[in-house]
Amino acid sequence: MFEQLFKLREHGTNIKTEILAGVTTFLTMSYIIFVNPEILSSTGMDRNAIFVATCVAAIIGSLIMAFVANWPIGMAPGMGLNAFFAFTIVGTLGFTWQQALGAVFISGIIFLILTVSGIRSWIVDGIPRSLRSAIVAGIGLFLGLIALSNAQIVVAHPATKVGLGNLTEPAVLYAVLGFFIIAALDALKVRGAILIGILVITLLSIQLGHSEYHGLVSMPPSIAPTFLQLDIMGALSMGVVHVILVLVLVEIFDATGTMIGVAKRANLLPEGKPNRLNRALLADSTAIVAGSMIGTSSTTAYVESAAGVQAGGRTGMTALVIAAMFLLALFFSPLAGVVPAYATAPALLYVACLMLRELGDIDWNDVTEAAPAALTALAMPFTYSIANGLAFGFISYVVIKTITGKFRDMHPATIIVAVLFIAKYTFE
């Protein structure tokens, strides 16, 4: 059956290898089970329902990837996108979480149309490499600020805006220890380093009396508090255009870049031969729509899938195993509920560190590339908004290129995005 479904022999793999690859990828990306409820519950959403929605969205996305694209890529609500949902759309712009879900739904529909029509590929091809790298790095800086705040290492200060917290507080010490555990394990190539770090700090805090243990296994909580609670009309009435623009742009860069990178590593994109990239792109855009209806932020392809590919995963059976593991995770909700913010903060901070590697791909010798990239990355944490970072980057890129006589070097997609952001600031 698996041979017929996934053509294992044709891809040079077998059932045992695919199962191992699926479990490996799950272990590396399963931290989202704990981190996503922590971030999204700050909007007032029910934490237990988010836990279920996170798992179900990952199951749906990974199953679509398995059976539609036959690629070994895991799907789940994305880091960065959940931060934009919670801290920008709801926290800064004043949307309700129901309206924010409506915005995710609309972005998913637009994303689906862009994918089917081929416009998605045109946009990706047209965005400068420097800005793509800066977007990833900027989101990393934004996540780093959130992580340091959650760990109480960075606190508000009336004179300097931000300051150093009390480093003797238990929460700070737990977070520091968690970060060192995750970094060391990852350096030693231990699979699931992030998940292990979260669990070690959680168990240690329970043991020392700083967290309460509520059990390990139970039936999944109700998803009702978030299921079909999206407010599409409310989102539209709030002036949602620039929110949609940012969601779609981040989804495009995040998911497309991840899929191409992982697929190349798995040798699934041979030069000059047919491939299933379009099917994979269709899978992630469909998963975004489904996730918004269940009650979570945008679902995307996970770069951690590269770990499964490294373990030999080559087909959709790997994604099927990932979906099965998230299904099992549904029965461990008490564990998710007991994980404190200072246990997930090190995971956020470490992901931020990994995302900052993208800065190395920017051409720092060309000011017309480097300055907009730097503005993009800096504006995200300092304005507490991924949207502002994107806007500053695209607008400054077009202006600087135009002033220096390099207007013709720009792709039309870059100019269009910049004009949309200018219109957003002009008419808001």
Q: What is the mean pLDDT of each run of 10 residues along the chain (428 residues)?
A: 72 79 77 84 87 90 87 84 84 86 87 80 76 80 82 84 86 92 88 78 86 73 83 76 75 68 67 66 82 86 73 81 89 72 80 82 90 90 78 90 88 84 71
Given this model, what pLDDT does residue 215 score? Answer: 67
Given this model, what pLDDT does residue 279 score? Answer: 77
For 308, the token pair is 């499964």
Q: The whole model's pTM is what?
A: 0.70
391 vs 380: CA distance, rounded Å = 10
Given this model, what pLDDT does residue 265 score? Answer: 64
> C-alpha 165: how far from its chain's center?
28
Instruction: Compute the CA torsion angle 400, 403, 407, 413 (nearest 10 deg).
Output: 40
413 vs 8: CA distance, rounded Å = 39
> C-alpha 190: how far from its chain's center?
22
Given this model, what pLDDT does residue 212 score? Answer: 73
For 159, the token pair is 């004179």
β-bridge pairing 161-164 and 154-157: antiparallel
294 vs 174: CA distance, rounded Å = 33
> C-alpha 370: how far from its chain's center?
25
Instruction: Name 323's Cβ contacts closer than 8 Å, sequence gap at least 6.
Output: 58, 59, 62, 63, 66
Residue ranges per structural domain of the chain: 2-360
φ, ψ dihedrals at 126, nearest 5°: -90, -15
194 vs 176: CA distance, rounded Å = 14
Polymer length of the chain: 428
What DSSP line would sit under 299-314, residue for residue? EEE-TTHHHHHHTT--
CB contact at 8 A, 205 and 185: no
Given this model, what pLDDT does residue 337 score? Answer: 63
Given this model, what pLDDT does residue 271 score? Answer: 58
Nearest Cα residue to 77 out of 115, 31, 116: 31
Given this model, what pLDDT does residue 275 score? Answer: 64
- Per DSSP, 202 falls in state H
- Which amino acid, 101? L
Ordered alpha helix ranges (H), 339-411: 341-355, 367-382, 386-403
